[in-house]
Amino acid sequence: MAKTILYVEDNESNIVVVERVAASMGIKLVVARNGQDGLTMAHSEMPNLILMDIGLPDIDGIEATKLLREASDTHFIPIIAVTAHAMNGDREQCLAAGCDEYLSKPFQVGALKKILDQFLDK
């Protein structure tokens, strides 16, 4: 059975890149374009991994991550912060909120594939 990734992202060009990477790896990708939809889809899709943008238009990725970690059905799903927030302390803030890893944008495709391999046990 194919692994599923939920990508919570509001930038279409970033979505296209991740769609291509996921397709090349045989991974099913579902996309939420804001934090609230990301929360809803995390509970309905129960993905194997969540890629979480931090700068979202409604609920930011930090708050969405905290809410997912507090919920009994999603607290165990690995969450990777994928964000342009790359200032000193941003990585630590994402990890403190409950993210398992941090990938700054723009990211290299190879770095994304390595993280997907690591967290999806491929």
pLDDT reported for residue 86:
64
Domains of the chain: 4-120 (3.40.50.2300)
d(CA 24, CA 107): 17
pLDDT reported for residue 83:
83
Cβ-based neighbours of 9, under 8 Å, separated by 6 or more: 15, 18, 31, 32, 33, 51, 53, 82
Successive 10-residue mean pLDDT values, the chain, 122 residues = 92 94 96 97 97 92 96 96 77 90 88 94 66
pLDDT reported for residue 122:
52
Cβ-based neighbours of 115, under 8 Å, separated by 6 or more: 80, 101, 103
pLDDT reported for residue 45:
96
Q: Are the beta carbons of 21 and 7 closer than 8 angstroms? A: no
pLDDT reported for residue 12:
93
